[in-house]
Amino acid sequence: MKAFAYVSPTTAKDAIAALKAGGIVRPLAGGQDLLARLKDYVETADTLVNVKQALDATVTPAGGGLKIGAAVTLDALSTNPHVIRMYPALAEAAAKVGSPQIRHQGTVGGNLNQRPRCWYFRQEEFVCFKKGGNRCFSVDGENQHHAIFGNDGPSKIVHSSSLAVPAVAYGARFVVAGPNGEREIPAAEYFTLPTMQNVKKENVLGDDELLTHVILPAPGHIRSGHYEVRFKESRDWPMAFATVVVTMNGANVASARVVLGAVAPTPWRSEAAERALVGKPLTQATAEAAAAAAVEGAKPMSQNAYKIQITKTAVVRAILEAAGKRA
Amino acid sequence: MAEETMQQPPAANPNEPSANAKKYAWTVPPAKTAILSHRVERVDGPAKVSGAARYTYDINRPGMLWARAIRSPHPHAKIVEIDFSAAKQAPGVRGVLAWKDPGAEVMYQGDVVAAVAADSEDHARDAARLVKITYETLPFSVREASSKDPATPKIFATGNTRPGQATDVGDVAAAFKSAAHVYEATYDTQVITHVCLETHGAVCEWTGDKLTAWVTTQGVHGVRQQLAAALKIPEANVRVICEYMGGGFGSKIAADASVVIPARLALVTGAPVKMMFDRKEEHLDTGNRPSAFSKVRAGVSADGKCVAFEAETWGTGGAGQGAQFPLPYIYQFANRKRAHLDVYINAGNQRPMRAPGHPQGCFATEVLMDELADLVKMDPLEFRLKNLPPTAPDAMWGEYFKIGAKKFGWDKRRATGEGGKGHLRTGMGVSACQWGGGGRAGNAHVDILPDGSVVVKVGTQDIGTGARTVVGIVAADTLGVPLSTVKAQIGDTDLPFAGASGGSTTTAGISPAIRIAAGRAKEALLARLAPSLGGDASKLEIVNGRVQVKGGGKSLTWKAACKLLGQEPISIDNAWEPGLSSVNTSGVQFAEVTVDTETGIVKVDRVLAIQDCGLVIDTLTAESQVYGGVISSINFALFEDRLLDRRTGQMVNPNMEHYLLASIADVPKVEVMLMNMPERGVIGIGEPPTVPTASAIANAVRNATGATLRSLPLHPHRVLAALEAHKAGRKA
Ligand SMILES: Cc1cc2nc3c(=O)[nH]c(=O)nc-3n(C[C@H](O)[C@H](O)[C@H](O)COP(=O)(O)OP(=O)(O)OC[C@H]3O[C@@H](n4cnc5c(N)ncnc54)[C@H](O)[C@@H]3O)c2cc1C
Ligand code: SF4
């Protein structure tokens, strides 16, 4: 990999200042994504700013919810008793990532900001739209892992963050800090669908900004379920997954959030599935109806139609888990 | 042919036991031995787990440089120009090398064009990227179907395909006419790569005109010969060392670019040079298992006899290599006919991979056998029993099927398609394997030194099978001393010649030589000791490291006895001799799986492997071979797939992320039953256990769901499609 300068500030303010060092500067957290990209010459950097000392690595109660520092590791997140009790889907998503090594090294900030896993993107030889080229290789190439929703833009990636999906489902807000101070962005608005203008990024974060915290609202009386369809038991990516968060009115669903993962360039909220749940009891039949609604409008590419069935299964099982009936 | 053999005098029969083989026959049964056939831990286990064992990757020499290859990014192109000027200016660069010249063609992505050497691995990598190669791209094909298509332009100088050997036995047409059922289907298996944990590579160092090469290889002696030829220097000037190596599976037999490049760059730069491939290079250019397609027509009689078989087969071994495989596999079809086509594509060439051809032929045959069994409404196991070759020491499938069925609980197997009610369905499958093994290339040197040390020198290498332990066990057991007394030296061309470790031949190749050399050494020792112990060597024995007079009387510790040798040690050489080893093994495997019909995910729950290999030298390492074989075959069944981009011809998954391999948690319970046949002598076990698991798994999926999977790997998309087709009453 190309040699780079390395700085390790101890405050968020210094870290943000360091992002302005000139040339290509990248924040480095656990490095599980960034270092691999640099080693494979997918990209190069002039300076890496280690943010693990600078950013918060704690989970603290806040307004009835939780405030999670960007430097919290995935392992710490998945084993935190508050997270497990209040946002079990988030704990489960973190617990299933990669392997124990990756979870001990990888962080919340790094996971949410990781770059695509598209196998063309990950190889230097393929200069696609995301790397300033003028084509997407997946269109007439090997696209079995690519998007079945939101794939009419230039890039057909699926967003690779497992945490992003429950974050959107729980209505999380991301705290972003830059040279001009902090701003809060709802998780659902953080991730962007690719257009020709923004295709080189997957979110609204500026190059001079850092994600510092994830704020989870007070859970109230929600129930949640999370299901990942995984081929291998570890060191692998989910083929499709879903997080479902509902509130109940007696035996019936009062409100619902259904968010799908690994199917679109962003966490993919399915309002159709949500509508299919509201006013209904959490039964197998409702779950199936919601799953059918969730995949309505899917636009598979040449090799990934199988993901529709897999997505349906994830939705059914996530709903049944929310209902306390584990598949 | 048969007549010719019969006319030969018995003495010329190379399998007739030699006088030495009779004299030093194996002690059987193993209950009578001290360590032979027992459960012995690897002698180098502690060195391996503590990191003390030095693999080629761990060899570092003073002043050593690193080499890096520059490879074609194109599946097919002509090299127009190679410009090293920028690379030569790069930091740390010490030498460059053109591997191919302008005008030559590259035939696949990853084909080596040039190399650089620099003072660090990073500098070498960076400099390699600065070598400017101009290509003229040429038409290519990365799909078997397009290479087979006559409309595709000629890409390979000898044509895009090459007919293989055809077979035609019996009267196929008549047999099909007489058959009660005729069945047709097409089966295919994918290209997979060897994925050795230690990648290919070498460290090469010249001292004057002498070259020392530390190579991660399956054959130190073969590599010496090929390296000397490639460098046009005398073999005597080359020494190849491989003390420990991290897997080869058939891909590390020859002196390939990973050895010749560092040797040449070491000459150019005057410094030792190390070159280790990275994972992407491994996938692209260090071999693979060819694909196999079989369009089969088979006929069975009403009472379940396989009578007719006709197949059109093809496959690709890459850019100019063959893709043969045995078909039909094991089961007897009296009348059979087959035509085969090797198909070339612009992708890395095949190399032998653990039981070359057998997993492919086994898959097509074994899945077909289950389908045929259904046609005649027979239990698949009964159907197999009916169509096996006659039972013999080297054809024990019938016995093993019966033993395995009992052990595995085959009677609990449900009818096909009735694997449960919910979305989780379970089923069982079965499959068989055969392999030749054996081996003749082995020489051993045994020293018994006056201080009691025993040194056994064999120029073999340990490819992970436990060769060092085998050397020690055979010598120690023969001499009657504890294993710790023996120092086994292997992995060096300065040691007596032994063949390459391929074809499951290592143990059968070296054990007879060690047995006889150690037996003769023992005899020589006792002869020298006799005067001090009553005068009659024939009355002496060595038990547990004590030299004693049989039936009581005088005795000496091993150390005290050896001290009597004075200044002159015992030093004996012997080559392999017939009579202590043999060929041909058989095995069967059972698998139970759970299929999630809503996701298409197959989980293997348990596997039972029954395998013979002649005389088992070390039960523990022999079992390890079976575990490893089964796990590899699970990878072949479910996960591994070399995927080439149809538009650019490049591999999309040259890594260990999208090229899937079982994680520890994906490995099921594997039970191994070794069938020890000491009376047959040593045969070998490295390859056969990796043959049948994948087919047993596919058959278990079929039993669980009713859906037949005729194509590997069993990725969820294939399983879902097969389930869908089954539901719709279609053939997938
Ligand atoms: C085999 C394998 C399997 C995997 N499976 C999964 C999986 O199932 N699910 C999943 O979600 N992930 C998976 N991963 C990805 C892994 O979880 C992420 O790579 C890891 O979480 C990234 O965290 P990190 O701290 O190491 O990030 P880094 O590599 O340090 O950073 C990732 C990116 O985020 C940027 N960044 C880091 N911190 C911040 C911040 N605070 N603000 C702004 N930008 C920042 C970096 O500049 C970089 O571009 C897998 C990875 C591998 C190798
Ligand atoms: S899907 Fe996106 S990342 Fe992948 S090749 Fe297309 S543009 Fe590039």
CATH number for position B70: 3.90.1170.50
Q: Mean per-residue pLDDT for A69-78? A: 98
Q: Quickly state the pLDDT bin for B732 (edges 50, 70, 90).
A: low
Residues A318 and A194 in one domain: no
Which positions in chain B touch A99 (Cβ < 8 Å)?
663
Q: Mean per-residue pLDDT for B253-273? A: 98
In this predicted structure, the answer to whether residue A219 has a pLDDT above a threshold of 90 is yes
Please give the structure tokens belonging to residue A94: 């973190």
In a domain, A143, yes or no: no
Residues A173 and A283 in one domain: no
Using CB atoms within 10 A of its CB, is residue B78 exposed (0-12), middle (13-18) or buried (19+)? middle
Q: Name the residue of A34, A112, A228 whose CB sits within 8 Å of the most ligand 1 atoms, as the mutation to test its pocket.
A: A34
Q: Does A119 touch chain B (CB under 8 A)?
A: yes
**ipTM for the complex shown:** 0.97
| Chosen from B74, B658, B719 to mutate, greatest number of chain A CBs within 10 A | B658
Q: Which amino acid is at B295?
A: K
Q: Does A296 touch chain B (CB under 8 A)?
A: no
Which runs of E-coded beta strand occur in A38-189? Answer: 47-50, 59-62, 65-69, 173-178, 181-186
Please judge whether B652 and A310 are an interchain contact, meaning their C-beta atoms are less than 8 angstroms apart.
Answer: no
Helices vs strands, H then E, count in chain A: 12, 12
Q: Mean per-residue pLDDT for B289-306? A: 98
Angle B83-B85-B86 (CA atoms, 0-180°, nearest 5)? Answer: 105
- The Å distance, Cα A75 to ligand 1 centre, comes to 13
In a domain, B494, yes or no: yes
In this predicted structure, the answer to whether residue B156 has a pLDDT above a threshold of 70 is yes
Q: Does A4 touch chain B (CB under 8 A)?
A: no
In this predicted structure, the answer to whether residue B6 has a pLDDT above a threshold of 50 is no
CATH number for position B697: 3.30.365.10
Distance CA A251, CA B689 (A): 55
CB atoms within 10 A of CB B49: 10
In a domain, B54, yes or no: yes
Distance CA B477, CA B492 (A): 24
Distance CA A157, CA B43 (A): 50
- What digits encode the pLDDT tens for the residues A238-284? 999 999 999 999 999 999 999 999 999 999 999 999 999 999 999 99
Residues B114 and B246 in one domain: no
Residues A71 and A164 in one domain: yes
For position B11, what pLDDT does the model report? Answer: 40
Q: Does B647 touch chain A (CB under 8 A)?
A: yes
Q: DSSP letters along B687-731, please?
A: SGGGSSHHHHHHHHHHHHHS----BSS--HHHHHHHHHHHHTT--
Residues B444 and B559 in one domain: yes
Residues B128 and B199 in one domain: no
Over B133-175, what HEC string results? EEEEECCCCCCHHHHHCCCCCCCCCCCCEEECCCEEECCHHHH
Residues B571 and B586 in one domain: no
State the smallest CA–CA distance between residue B288 and chain A in angstroms: 21
In a domain, A128, yes or no: no
Q: Is the CB of A120 under 6 A from ligand 2?
A: yes
Distance CA B216, CA B489 (A): 17
Q: Is the CB of A263 under 6 A from ligand 1?
A: no
Q: Name the residue of A33, A48, A229 whose CB sits within 8 Å of the most ligand 1 atoms, as the mutation to test its pocket.
A: A33
Residues B444 and B431 in one domain: no
| Chosen from B133, B423, B643, B650 to mutate, greatest number of chain A CBs within 10 A | B650
Residues A176 and A202 in one domain: yes
Q: Mean per-residue pLDDT for B283-301? A: 98
In a domain, A134, yes or no: no
Q: Is the CB of A194 under 6 A from ligand 2?
A: no
Residues B602 and B674 in one domain: yes
Q: Which of B423, B640, B407, B360 is nearest to A231 (CA)?
A: B640
Distance CA A68, CA A57 (A): 8
Q: Quickly state the pLDDT bin for A124 (edges 50, 70, 90).
A: very high
Residues A66 and A208 in one domain: yes
In a domain, A238, yes or no: yes
Please give the structure tokens belonging to residue B217: 């290889």
Residues B682 and B729 in one domain: yes
Residues A193 and A71 in one domain: yes
CATH number for position A78: 3.30.465.10
Please judge whether B648 and A126 are an interchain contact, meaning their C-beta atoms are less than 8 angstroms apart.
Answer: yes
In a domain, B298, yes or no: no
* Domain count along chain A: 3
| Chosen from B641, B652, B667, B715 to mutate, greatest number of chain A CBs within 10 A | B652
Count how many residues are written for chain B: 732
Q: Judging by DSSP bridges, how do beta strands B132-137 and B570-575 pair with one another? A: unpaired
Residues A48 and A71 in one domain: no
Q: Mean per-residue pLDDT for B603-612? A: 98
Residues B595 and B701 in one domain: yes
Residues B586 and B730 in one domain: yes
Which runs of E-coded beta strand occur in B397-462? Answer: 424-435, 443-448, 454-457
In this predicted structure, the answer to whether residue B149 has a pLDDT above a threshold of 90 is yes
In this predicted structure, the answer to whether residue B4 has a pLDDT above a threshold of 60 is no
* Rg of chain B on CA atoms, in Å: 28
Q: Judging by DSSP bridges, how do beta strands A252-261 and A223-229 pair with one another? A: unpaired
Residues A211 and A75 in one domain: yes
Chain A and chain B share a number of CB contacts under 8 A equal to 84
For position B223, what pLDDT does the model report? Answer: 98
Domain membership of residue B118 as a residue range: 63-138
In a domain, B164, yes or no: no
Residues in a beta bridge with B543: B546
The alpha carbon dihedral of B692, B697, B698, B703 has a sign of: positive
In a domain, B481, yes or no: yes
B336 three-state secondary structure: strand
Q: Determine if the peptide bond prior to B713 is cis (ω within 30°).
A: yes
- What digits encode the pLDDT tens for the residues B87-130? 999 999 999 999 999 999 999 999 999 999 999 999 999 999 99
Torsion of CA B623, B627, B632, B636, to 10 degrees: 110
Q: What are phi and psi of B180, to 5 degrees?
A: -75, -35
In a domain, A228, yes or no: yes
The alpha carbon dihedral of B561, B567, B568, B571 has a sign of: positive
Domain membership of residue A287 as a residue range: 222-322
Q: DSSP letters along B172-231, please?
A: HHHHHHH-SEEEEEEEEE--EE---SSPSEEEEEEETTEEEEEE--S-HHHHHHHHHHHH
Q: Quickly state the pLDDT bin for B9 (edges 50, 70, 90).
A: very low
For position B27, what pLDDT does the model report? Answer: 87
- What digits encode the pLDDT tens for the residues B48-85? 999 999 999 999 999 999 999 999 999 999 999 999 99
Q: Name the residue of A42, A43, A115, A120 whose CB sits within 8 Å of the most ligand 2 atoms, as the mutation to test its pocket.
A: A120
Q: Mean per-residue pLDDT for B578-587? A: 96
For position B13, what pLDDT does the model report? Answer: 52
Which positions in chain A touch B660 (Cβ < 8 Å)?
231-232, 236
The enclosing H or E element of A110 equals: helix A108-113
Please judge whether A125 and B639 are an interchain contact, meaning their C-beta atoms are less than 8 angstroms apart.
Answer: no
Residues B676 and B630 in one domain: yes
B621 three-state secondary structure: helix
In a domain, A71, yes or no: yes
In this predicted structure, the answer to whether residue A327 has a pLDDT above a threshold of 60 is no
In this predicted structure, the answer to whether residue B29 has a pLDDT above a threshold of 90 is no
Q: Is the CB of A261 under 6 A from ligand 1?
A: no
Which positions in chain A touch B652 (Cβ < 8 Å)?
119-120, 123, 141-142
- What digits encode the pLDDT tens for the residues B322-355? 999 999 999 999 999 999 999 999 999 999 999 9
CATH number for position A19: 3.30.43.10
For chain B, what is the mean pLDDT? 96
Residues A204 and A297 in one domain: no
A54-90 burial, b at 16+ Cβ within 10 Å, e below that, comes to bbbeebeeeeebbbbbbbbbbbbbbebeebeebbbbb
For chain A, what is the mean pLDDT? 97
Q: Is the CB of A238 under 6 A from ligand 2?
A: no
In a domain, B612, yes or no: yes
* Domain count along chain B: 4
In a domain, A135, yes or no: no
Q: Name the residue of A4, A24, A32, A163 whose CB sits within 8 Å of the most ligand 1 atoms, as the mutation to test its pocket.
A: A32
Q: Quickly state the pLDDT bin for B553 (edges 50, 70, 90).
A: confident
On whether the CB atoms of residues B21 and B577 are closer than 8 A, the answer is yes
Distance CA B430, CA B606 (A): 12
CA distances from B153 to B73, B79, B148, B644, B708 (A): 21, 20, 10, 20, 36
Q: Which of A306, A312, A301 is nearest to A118 (CA)?
A: A301
Q: Does A284 touch chain B (CB under 8 A)?
A: no
User: Taking chain B, what is the end-to-end CA distance rounded to the nearest angstrom?
Assistant: 44
State the smallest CA–CA distance between residue A232 and chain B in angstroms: 7
Q: Does A316 touch chain B (CB under 8 A)?
A: yes
Residues B600 and B671 in one domain: yes
Q: Does B281 touch chain A (CB under 8 A)?
A: no
CB atoms within 10 A of CB B444: 30
Ligand 1, atom 45: closest residue by C-alpha:
A110
On whether the CB atoms of residues B593 and B704 are closer than 8 A, the answer is yes
